[in-house]
A and B are shown apart, each in its own frame.
Chain A
Amino acid sequence: MNISDEKIREIALNAIKELGDNANQQNVKEVVEETIKKLGNSLPEKSTDMDQVILTSFGLNKPGVIAAITKALSEANCDISDLSQKLMGDFFTMIMIVNTSNSTLSLNEIQNKMKKISDEMKIKIMMQHEEIFKSMHRI
């Protein structure tokens, strides 16, 4: 959780006021730390918004492409909420909606994993947060 410098200063001033003449560096520090901790606990740790990420992949079709992607996703504890695929001759396009809320990895780390697969399989994989599509295509 981020607490601004101003907020910390405000908490410290309050603490000094409360402690009155007893205030010293040590006990003010303790009070401030405790207050910040309490503030942190009163807020939900993670936003309730689902972290939906859209994975787009395209390239020349070959065995194991989808398996490689889904395996990596499941290892990262990501949930595939929707999937759609089109084949045009040898060329495939796949779009997945992936829920990363419960993932142990950050989006960046998942993207790095995909980068590896994309290099190995010589296909293109992109992972973009859903919000970009929402803001561009929905009013």
Chain B
Amino acid sequence: MNYNFEEILETIKMTEIEHFDIRTVTLGISLRDCIDRNVEVSKQKIYDKIIKYGSKHVKYAEEIEANFGISIANKRVSITPISIPFDSYKTDEFIEIAKVLDKAAGEIGIDYLAGYSALVQKGFTNGEMEMINSIPFVLAETKRITASVNVASTKAGINMDAINIMSEKIKQTAELTKDDDSIGCAKLVVFANIPEDNPFVAGAFHGVTEPEAVLNVGISGPGVVLDAIKNAGSVDLQQLAELIKKTVFKTTRAGELIGRKVAEKHGIPFGIIDISLAPTPAKGDSIADILVAMGVEDVGAHGTTAALAMLNDAVKKAGLMASSSVGGMSGAFIPVSEDEGMIKAVERGNLSIEKLEAMTSVCSVGLDMVAVPGDTPATTIAGIIADECAIGVINDKTTSVRIIPAYGKSVGESVDYGGLLGLAPIMAVREISSDRFVKRGGRIPAPMRSLTN
């Protein structure tokens, strides 16, 4: 037999017991040719194009799932950052476009469509300003649209004006969606160094240098890594790194195969595989549990950042060996609400927002799905975003903030969205003010790239 018993059973164990699945296959579609002076014509073009490329997306993914016996958790679509082709539109027109996108997404049977985005790290065009003003209304009035705004990059520096505006928009979104635990904020991410080929919602978009349509895939599999570490017993850290690498190598290979097969069915190019370990609220599908299995008592203990750094690095090394198409974020996600272990660590008082921020300096994204009191001032949120951007810009990495100032709630309460978004306990923020610093506005200049101490 070409394969031995153990190999076959290992794969079956991964998919059946350890929750190994493909987290997302994301179809990127360019909307650059959909602009028209008449918004009605644009709307029709957008709708037609998404239906044309996307109508079979779910069907194809399901066929591949059945063929290989590996489930694909999410089938999604990303589009050209909406502010780019439609720069001449006004806020009301952007809202209309978002509604069409929402309708098309529903029609093709996907849960999220990402790319309601703007890239303003250096400044705003008039259209980008109009589009950003529409974000809170779009997130309140649509179900499937996710928005992202890039406010900083290593090459451009940190646009504090944009951060101040986004903090106000986050607060406004929280208020407009207050009846649903401010869920709008769970669909809005503020980025530094945003990648153009990220398949993971809510931060996904179809970059301007991407082809007409492309298929990107994001793998998952914290459960697989967790079990491997648990079974390893008391080995030293080098051996542990080796073990993580071997496991992630296999999951990456499976992910690339699935991505290529779905792309083949679509007849479009395969783009990248994002090897991020992405948790879900399901039991055993947790990054926090991996860190605990590595040896810290709970997430937040001293040593957590080191453990996360090692995990993230091992994941990258394995992924790069396994595939030549690694892209996107590719690291370990540490969202609070989407990870059972993280939720518990916050509830037990072991994980603070400050420690979480330190962890984001070595992991793939940033402060993700963090709920804070509803009365947190916008300037404090701006301070949090600015800190996160500084980490990203100085370290030449992607960082992001997806923060939920839960309207009318305070520390001790929580917001509960169910499903993949999970439950977020409200975390305390510093009560001292960032006001005078962030209100200066302007731009923090781009950093130097030598003398990096």
Binding site for B on A (CB under 8 A): 2, 4, 54, 56, 82, 84, 86, 93, 95, 97, 107-108, 111, 126-133, 135-137
- Give the complex CA separation of A132 and B341 in angstroms: 31
User: Does B267 contact A4, Cβ atoms closer than 8 Å?
Assistant: yes
What's the minimum C-beta distance from A79 to chain B, rounded to whole angstroms? 15
Q: Chain B residues near A133 (CB, 8 Å)?
A: 3, 7-8, 11
Contact A56 B8 (CB under 8 A): yes
Q: Which residues of B contact A93 (CB under 8 A)?
A: 5, 9
Closest 7 CB pairs of A and B: A128-B69, A135-B253, A132-B68, A136-B250, A135-B257, A82-B1, A137-B7
Given contacts A54-B8, A84-B1, contact A132 B257 (CB under 8 A): yes
Question: Given contacts A135-B253, A135-B254, A135-B256, is CB(A107)–CB(B2) below 8 Å?
Answer: no
CA A32 – CA B361 in complex, angstroms?
59
A111 to B66, CA, bound (A): 8
Contact status of A95 and B8, CB under 8 A, knowing A54-B3, A132-B254, A135-B254: yes
Nearest B residue to A53 via CB reads: B67
Q: Is the CB of A126 within 8 A of B63?
A: no
Q: Taking the nearest CB of chain A, how far is it from the CB of B25, in angstroms?
A: 15
Among B7, B10, B66, chain A packs the most CB atoms within 10 A around the CB of B66
Chain B residue numbers with a CB within 8 Å of A127 are: 69
CB-based nearest B residue for A132:
B68
Question: Residues of A contacting B267 with CB < 8 Å?
Answer: 2, 4
Distance A82 CA – B2 CA, assembled complex (angstroms)? 9
Complex Cα distance A4/B256, Å? 24
- Please tell me if B232 contacts chain A, counting CB pairs below 8 Å: no
Is the pair A136, B254 in contact by a Cβ cutoff of 8 Å?
A: yes
Q: Complex Cα distance A135/B68, Å?
A: 11
Determine if B66 and A108 form an interchain contact, defined as CB atoms under 8 angstroms apart.
yes
Q: Determine the chain B residues whose CB is within 8 A of the CB of A130 once the complex forms.
A: 2
Please judge, given known A-B contacts A56-B12, A108-B63, A131-B68, whether A136 and B1 are in contact too, CB under 8 Å: no
Cross-chain contact A137 with B3 (CB below 8 angstroms): yes
A-B contacts, 23 of them at CB < 8 A, read: A54-B3, A56-B9, A82-B1, A84-B1, A93-B5, A95-B5, A97-B2, A97-B3, A111-B66, A128-B68, A129-B67, A130-B2, A131-B68, A132-B11, A132-B68, A132-B70, A132-B257, A135-B254, A135-B256, A136-B11, A136-B253, A136-B254, A137-B10
Q: Chain B nearest CB: distance from A50 CB in Å?
A: 11
Q: Report the contact-size class of chain B (Cβ under 8 Å from the partner).
A: 20 to 34
**Are B5 and A97 neighbours in the complex by a CB distance under 8 Å?**
no
- Chain B residues lying within 8 Å of A136, measured Cβ to Cβ, are 7, 11, 250-251, 253-254
When chains A and B are docked, how far (Å) is the Cα of A1 from the Cα of B298? 56
- Chain B residues touching A, majority SS: helix
Return A76 CB to nearest CB of chain B, in Å.
16
Cα-based distance from A86 to B7 in the complex (angstroms): 15
Q: Are A97 and B250 neighbours in the complex by a CB distance under 8 Å?
A: no
In the assembled complex, which residues on chain A have CB atoms less than 8 Å from the CB atom of B70? Answer: 128, 132
Q: How far is the CA of A135 from the CA of B253 in the complex (A)?
A: 6
Shortest Cβ gap from B3 to chain A (Å): 5
* Distance of A118 Cα from B1 Cα, bound (Å): 24
Docked Cα-Cα span, A130 to B7, in Å, equals: 12
Tell me the complex Cα distance, A82–B1, Å.
Answer: 6
Of all chain B residues, the one with the shortest Cβ separation from A127 is: B69
Which of B2, B69, B257 is the one whose CB lies under 8 Å from A126?
A: B69
Residues of B within 8 A of A2 (CB): 267
Complex Cα distance A93/B9, Å? Answer: 10
CB closest chain-B residue, reference A131: B257
Measured between C-beta atoms, what is the minimum distance from B397 to chain A in Å? Answer: 29
Residues of A within 8 A of B254 (CB): 132, 135-136
A84 touches B5 (CB 8 A): yes
Q: Is B69 within 8 A of A137, CB to CB?
A: no
Q: Contact mask B266-277 → A, CB, 8 Å, 1/0?
A: 010000000000
**For residue A136, which residue of chain B has the nearest CB?**
B250
How far is it, in angstroms, between the C-alpha of A136 and the C-alpha of B253 when the chains are bound? 5
A128 contacts B3, C-beta separation under 8 Å: no
Q: Mark B65-78, 1 if CB is under 8 A from A, else 0.
A: 01111100000000
Query: Which chain A residue lies CB-closest to B12?
Result: A56
Q: Beyond A54-B8, A95-B1, A133-B3, list 8 extra A-B contacts (CB 8 Å).
A: A84-B5, A93-B5, A97-B2, A108-B67, A111-B66, A126-B12, A126-B69, A136-B11
B322 to chain A, nearest CB (A): 9
